[in-house]
Structure formats: structure tokens, C-alpha cells
Amino acid sequence: MKRLARLSAALLALCLGWAHAADGPTLTRVRDTGVIVIGYRPASLPFSYLDAQLRPTGYTVELCDRIVAAVRTRLQLPDIEVRRVEVASATRMPLVINGTLDLECGITTHTAERARNQAFSMTIFVAETRLMTRGGERVQGLADLRGLAVASTIGTTSIQHLAKVNEQKGLGIRILGGLDDPEGFQMLRSGRASAFLMDDVLLRSLLAQQGPGAEDYRISDQALTVEPYAIGLRKGDPQFKALVDEVLAGLYRSGEIHAIYRRWFEQPLPALGLNLKLPMSAAFRRVIAKPTDSPDPDKYR
């Protein structure tokens, strides 16, 4: 009898081991610890910001909340704790790479270079980088800013593009880096920079917060780059990525993503009352119709 009991216990342990291996490292760790860790941005509305009670909220946060619900269902653990960690442009990716974060739920562009070190979900938004200037200045491209100071945000694809074009074309631009988007924008407001280069949706978000002063700024008609946003994931865990992508694909298939999009981009934002009045782009509509996790900007043009 004791031998049979030991054999049964060994078989159960073996089966549990197989089940855990099938879940991959992220889900296994979440099951073992009872905790899933999410990175958020404190002031990157409408994607990720703090509400009146200082709780993370926003478009990407809502998508991640749907993923957490799916994890709880998958593991049959309804009481999984959600631990939220504040991240910045410079810290978000290192915290994914070193395993601190299970989901990075902010505003991160999926690029082939970044994908060497971490994984990404399917695309959740498509932005374009543009230049913002003060007053009546009409600037369309970086060539119009030869010899001047241009601000962007440290750790972003925008500042990387700015540095690359500046060097390739010998524009002599003095690059100023803000620790976050509001700091970069402040360099333009104060006159330290002649322009601020950033994703168009984030520029519109900053202007929406200016109130009556928004008319003092111009956003270029010309887009410099295409930026497919995605949720950051740990590399080498296809099982967890498959779960994340299935949650997103389900929202796309059902059409529920349109209501979620309207809530954050076309209606007054919860706790703030600001309305970006930003209709869904044709590029993102194509993603919804045919989901992709491609980092290739040409796939979105």
C-alpha cells in the first residue's frame, strides 16, 4: 500500500511537472508565487497614467487587465495578486529583460533591435513621429531645424531617429533629452529647444493638457517614422506570448477593441476630462482586421 501511495505521488508530481512546463516560465512563476508584475507609466496618457486615487489606468493598462483576467482563468487562481511597478522610458525595457516585469503596459515601440533582447505582443496601436514647434513656425522635417536645438525623450525611438538623421545628414542639430515626455515638452515651452520630436499621439496628449495655450503650438503634417506599439514581454516564453496575443486577438475579432479605443481616445478621459478626439488610424484598423506582431514599419504604411 505504501509503495502504491509513493508511486501515485510520483506520478502526480510528474504530471504537475509536465503541466508546469507546458505553461512556460512566466505562468509557472505566477502560479508558484501567486503574483503577476506589471509595469506602468505614471504620466503617459491616455495609455498609462495615474487616476485621482493614484491608481494606474489607461488604454494599455486596460488591455493588460484583460490579460491578467485570462491568466487567472488559465491557472484557475482567481486571487492572483497584481503588483504594479512604475517605469520610465529608460527603465521599462531593462526591467522586462531582467525578469522583474511580466507585462510592460505603457508606450513602447516594437523594433527589430529591441526584439533581440525581449519579446512583444501583437501590435496594440500605431503611432507616427512628428515635430512640434511654437507659434507660427512651420517646420515639416529635421532639415528645417539645421543648427538648432531639438528636444526628445531619452530611451525612445524618437531620440534614436533624431540622432541618426542628424549624423547622416550633418544637420548640426543640438539634441536635448528629457527624462520623460513632459520634460522634453518643457524644453520647447521654455525656448531651450526649437522643436520637440515625439509620437503624434503623445504630442496631442501634451497639448490637450495645455488648455487655452494649446493653440500656441503646431504639429508637423509630415510623419518622420511609423511606431507600432506593443506590450513588452520576457523573451523565450512562447506560451505566455500566445496567451497574451490570444486575449488581444479576441478583442479584435469581437470588435470590443473599438469601444475600448473610443473610451481612451475619443471621449473625456476618466479622472481628467481631457478628450484627445483622435479617431482610429487606418493603419490600426488594418491591424485589427489582420493582427500582426511585426516590427517592420513598412507593414503599417
Map residue 231 onto helix, strand or coil: coil
Asked whether residue 154 falls in the same domain as residue 244, the answer is no
Question: Taking a C-beta distance cutoff of 8 angstroms, is the pair 249, 218 a contact?
Answer: no
Nearest one of 59, 34, 37 to 48, comparing CA atoms:
59
Asked whether residue 27 falls in the same domain as residue 106, the answer is yes
Asked whether residue 42 falls in the same domain as residue 118, the answer is yes
Residue at a domain's end among 174, 206, 224: 224
Give kind and range of the element (H or E) at residue 184: helix 181-190
Residue-wise pLDDT tens digits, 2-60 = 555 554 544 444 444 544 557 899 999 999 999 999 999 999 999 999 998 999 999 99
Question: Taking a C-beta distance cutoff of 8 angstroms, is the pair 36, 80 a contact?
Answer: yes
Asked whether residue 154 falls in the same domain as residue 270, the answer is no
Size of the chain, expressed as the number of residues it contains: 301
Q: Mean pLDDT across the stretch 200-225? A: 90
Question: What's the rounded Cα separation, in Å, for the pair 228 and 267?
Answer: 23
Assign 214 a pLDDT band (cuts: 50, 70, 90).
confident
For the ranges 82-91, 110-119, 203-212, 243-252, the lowest mean pLDDT is seen at 203-212
Question: Which pLDDT value is given to residue 137?
Answer: 67
- Could you tell me the CATH number of the domain that includes residue 267? 3.40.190.10
Residue with more model confidence, 294 or 179: 294
Q: Mean pLDDT across the stretch 67-88? A: 97
Question: What's the rounded Cα separation, in Å, for the pair 58 and 276?
Answer: 13
Asked whether residue 57 falls in the same domain as residue 181, the answer is no
**113 Cα distance to chain centroid:** 16
Residue at a domain's end among 181, 206, 224: 224
Residue at a domain's end among 167, 201, 224: 224
Asked whether residue 27 falls in the same domain as residue 98, the answer is yes
Provide the strand spans (E) within 100-212: 103-105, 119-120, 125-134, 149-153, 174-178, 195-199
Question: Taking a C-beta distance cutoff of 8 angstroms, is the pair 226, 297 a contact?
Answer: yes
Nearest one of 229, 191, 188 to 210, comparing CA atoms:
188
Map residue 233 onto helix, strand or coil: strand
Question: Which pLDDT value is given to residue 13?
Answer: 46
Question: Which pLDDT value is given to residue 159?
Answer: 96
Asked whether residue 99 falls in the same domain as residue 236, the answer is yes
Residue with more model confidence, 74 or 90: 74
Residue-wise pLDDT tens digits, 74-83 = 999 999 999 9
Q: Is residue 186 part of a domain?
A: yes
Dihedral through CA 185, CA 182, CA 186, CA 151, nearest 10?
Answer: -40
Grid coordinates belonging to 294: 511585426
Q: Is residue 187 part of a domain?
A: yes
Q: Mean pLDDT across the stretch 113-119? A: 97
Question: Which pLDDT value is given to residue 2?
Answer: 52
Assign 253 a pLDDT band (cuts: 50, 70, 90).
very high
Q: Is residue 24 part of a domain?
A: yes
| Structural domain containing residue 273 | 16-124+230-300
Q: Mean pLDDT across the stretch 161-180? A: 96
Q: Mean pLDDT across the stretch 120-145? A: 92
**How many domains does the chain divide into?**
2
Q: Mean pLDDT across the stretch 186-212? A: 93
Asked whether residue 97 falls in the same domain as residue 32, the answer is yes
Asked whether residue 48 falls in the same domain as residue 138, the answer is no
Asked whether residue 179 falls in the same domain as residue 196, the answer is yes
Question: What's the rounded Cα separation, in Å, for the pair 203 and 176?
Answer: 17
Asked if pLDDT for residue 207 goes beyond 60, the answer is: yes
Asked whether residue 181 falls in the same domain as residue 145, the answer is yes
Asked whether residue 178 falls in the same domain as residue 243, the answer is no
Mean of per-residue pLDDT scores for the chain: 92
β 174-178/125-134 pair status: unpaired
Percentage of the residues of the chain whose pLDDT score is greater than 90: 83
Question: Which pLDDT value is given to residue 213?
Answer: 80
**199 Cα distance to chain centroid:** 12
Question: Taking a C-beta distance cutoff of 8 angstroms, is the pair 44, 199 a contact?
Answer: no
Residue with more model confidence, 206 or 137: 206
Q: Is residue 119 part of a domain?
A: yes
